[in-house]
Chains A and B, each alone.
Chain A
Amino acid sequence: MPFKKNTAAITTYGDHEVIRPENKLRGYASDTPLEAGEEDPVARAERALAELSGDFPDWMDDECERLDKARNTIVQRGIDESNKMALFHGAHDIKGQAATLGFPAVAAVADSLCRLIEFTPTPQRIPLTLINQHVDAVRAIYREYSRSDAVELAAQLNHKLREVTDHFLVEENKGRPDIIEQITG
């Protein structure tokens, strides 16, 4: 389908223009009610996702392995910009996906690892022990997820890791009140 260029109404002011592009997408919305027996699109999408969910534990395995691999590279070679970002992306993806994949209690520890990486001004000063504890906690929470007390244990682990991480970050960011505010706020 050839694309037609947007036309736009433009009003010019002293230091800016207000542009109202033609809304070609509005024609795809209507107030037509659902027909009898027709499924709500959100419910249909949720059902499609539920049908996919049998693969989610394997996907979570992949994400945890990726995080572990990034950690191992840092342990073997020391932290540099490239492997720091690999660790951050691994943790960040787990933080964002854990709930969708059915493991919401994993997300908080992954978030704590993201904060540790993001708010440490000199990454080489991040204690390897603290990185290891985060990565091991993510993997352990996922591995033990079927336990009845898994969520409670995850919360305890996260609380302790977060406490230690925040203490480290506050020390590392002395003299940077804006960062301290983000850490403690």
Chain B
Amino acid sequence: MLRIDFKSLRFLVVDDNAHMRRILRTLLHGFGAREVYEAEDGASGLEAFNHFVPDIVITDWAMPIFDGLELTQMIRQPGGNANPYVPIIMMTGHSEKRRVTAARDAGITEFLAKPVSAKGLYERIVSVIVNPRPFIKTKTYFGPDRRRSTVSTYTGPERRKGGKADVIKNSTLFEKVR
């Protein structure tokens, strides 16, 4: 089994719901994490991100002031803060396809639909540590590679130009831990 040294990792949990923050803190401490910081909205989340410089950010989507999508976009500003490459796990009750697409386009690393479970959260954390995707920078996007598979016949308007498509084959989590 793949083991993660949670006690060396620093987490930031951003969620406006105090109960959900408590649940996440409990799960992370249960995994072995010692450093779990919390923020209750996007604005204080950004402040905490710059102050604590977490290794992994776990954020809700729907929050006051600015939401999880806007927080993600602010973190993913190249040169704008200490670590624009930080893994961001978006955890939300929104699970519709268009929502997942919007979160992906904002630059999240992993998506975790509520209800949250220990197993689901653990798998996302393992994935962002063991199986990180390269980052893509275009005129309109900066974030993890949104392609999870290679489609060599794709000819649509968003086809990248200038050489062959640079896509990393992502092993499934199961393949990684096997």
Task: Answer yes or no: are A and B bound together in one complex.
Answer: yes
B80-134 CB contacts (< 8 Å) to partner A: 82-83, 85, 87, 92-94, 96, 98, 114-119, 121-122, 126, 128-130, 132, 134
15 A-B pairs with C-beta separation under 8 A: A15-B138, A15-B161, A16-B136, A17-B138, A18-B135, A25-B55, A29-B126, A31-B2, A32-B3, A41-B6, A48-B29, A96-B114, A97-B17, A97-B20, A107-B115
Q: Which of A2-10, A126-134, A156-164 lies on the face that meets chain B?
A: A2-10
Q: Cβ of A40: which chain B residues have Cβ within 8 Å of it? A: 1
Given contacts A14-B160, A97-B115, A100-B115, 18 further A-B contacts (CB under 8 A): A3-B82, A13-B161, A19-B136, A21-B85, A21-B135, A24-B55, A28-B8, A29-B2, A29-B3, A31-B3, A34-B1, A45-B28, A48-B29, A62-B19, A89-B62, A97-B19, A98-B115, A107-B115
Q: Judge whether A25 and B161 touch: CB under 8 Å.
A: no
Least CB distance from B29 to A in Å reads 7
Q: Are B23 and A19 in contact (CB under 8 A)?
A: no
Contacts of A11 in B (CB 8 A): 166
Tell whether, in the assembled complex, residue A6 and residue B9 are in contact, meaning their CB atoms are under 8 Å apart.
no
> Which A102-141 residues sit within 8 Å CB-CB of chain B?
104, 107, 111, 114
Q: For residue B178, give the distance in angstroms from its CB to the closest CB of chain A.
A: 11
Cβ-neighbour of B26 out of A3, A16, A21, A48 (below 8 A): A48
Bound complex: CA A156 to CA B135 (Å): 47
Interface of A toward B, CB cutoff 8 Å: 3, 5-6, 8, 11, 13-21, 23-26, 28-34, 40-49, 52, 59, 62-63, 88-89, 92-93, 95-101, 104, 107, 111, 114, 182
Best-surrounded residue of B2, B30, B92 (most CB of chain A within 10 A): B30
| A63 with B136: CB separation less than 8 A | no
- Give the CA-CA distance A179 to B117 in the complex, in Å: 31
Knowing A8-B85, A45-B118, A93-B20 touch, does A20 contact B2 (C-beta < 8 A)? no
- Number of interface residues, chain B, beta carbon within 8 A: 59
Tell me if B169 counts as interface (CB < 8 A to partner A).
no
B31 & A92 in contact (Cβ 8 Å cutoff): no
Whether B19 and A13, one on each chain, are in contact in the complex, defined by CB atoms closer than 8 angstroms, is: no
- Collect the chain B residues with CB atoms within 8 Å of residue A111's CB: 93
B4 within 8 A of A: yes
- Partner of B162 from the list A14, A25, A47 (CB cut-off 8 Å) is A14
Q: Are B118 and A42 in contact (CB under 8 A)?
A: yes
Query: Are B17 and A93 in touch, CB under 8 angstroms?
Result: yes
A16 and B82: CB pair below 8 A? no
Q: How near does chain B come to A55, taking the closest CB pair, in angstroms?
A: 8
> Closest Cβ of chain A: how far from B123's Cβ, in Å?
9
Contact of A3 among B83, B94, B118, B145 (CB under 8 A): B83
Chain A's closest residue to B98 (CB) is: A182
| Bound CA–CA A41/B122 (angstroms) | 9
Quote the shortest CB–CB distance from A130 to chain B (angstroms): 20
The 6 closest A-B pairs by CB, nearest first: A14-B162, A45-B30, A96-B93, A96-B114, A99-B115, A13-B162
- Bound complex: CA A23 to CA B56 (Å): 12
Judge if B74 is at the interface, Cβ distance under 8 Å.
Answer: no
With A and B bound together, what is the CA distance between A67 and B91 in angstroms? 21
Question: Roughly how many angstroms separate A30 CA and B6 CA in the complex, as a whole number?
Answer: 11
